[in-house]
Amino acid sequence: MIQLQNYIRDIQDFPKKGIVFKDITPLLNSKQATQKCTEELIKLIGNQAIDKVVGIESRGFFFATLLAQKIGAGFVPIRKPGKLPYTTISQKYALEYGTDSIEMHVDAIKKGERVLLHDDVLATGGTAQAACKLIETLGGKIIQCNFIMTLDFLNGKEKIKGYDVASVLQY
Q: What is the number of residues in the chain? A: 171
- Cβ count within 10 A of residue 147: 26
CA distance linking residue 148 with residue 114, whole number of Å = 20
Q: Give the shortest CB-130-to-ligand AMP separation in angstroms.
A: 8
Q: C-alpha 72: how far from its chain's center?
A: 18
Between the alpha carbon of residue 119 and those of residues 50, 65, 98, 111, 122, the distances in Å are 16, 11, 22, 22, 7
Stretch that binds ligand AMP, among 17-25, 26-34, 69-77, 135-143 (CB under 6 A): 17-25
Q: Give the shortest CB-137-to-ligand AMP separation in angstroms.
A: 18
Helix or strand (DSSP H, E) at 90: strand 88-94
Exactly one of 7, 8, 22, 91 binds ligand AMP (CB under 6 A); that residue is 22
Of the pair 9, 43, the CB lying nearest ligand AMP is at 9
Q: Which residues are catalytic?
A: 59, 96
CA distance linking residue 1 with residue 24, whole number of Å = 19
CA distance linking residue 37 with residue 83, whole number of Å = 28
Of the pair 22, 52, the CB lying nearest ligand AMP is at 22
Exactly one of 126, 131, 142, 150 binds ligand AMP (CB under 6 A); that residue is 126
State yes or no: residue 124 binds ligand AMP (CB under 6 A): yes
What is the size of the binding site for ligand AMP (CB under 6 A)? 17
Exactly one of 34, 88, 91, 127 binds ligand AMP (CB under 6 A); that residue is 127
Which of 41-54 are b and which e, b meaning 16 or more Cβ less than 10 Å from the residue's Cβ?
Answer: beebbeeeebbbbb
Binding mask of the shown chain, residues 53 to 92, with x at each position contacting ligand AMP by CB under 6 A: ---x--x---------------------------------
Contacting residues toward ligand AMP, per CB under 6 A? 19-22, 56, 59, 119-128, 156
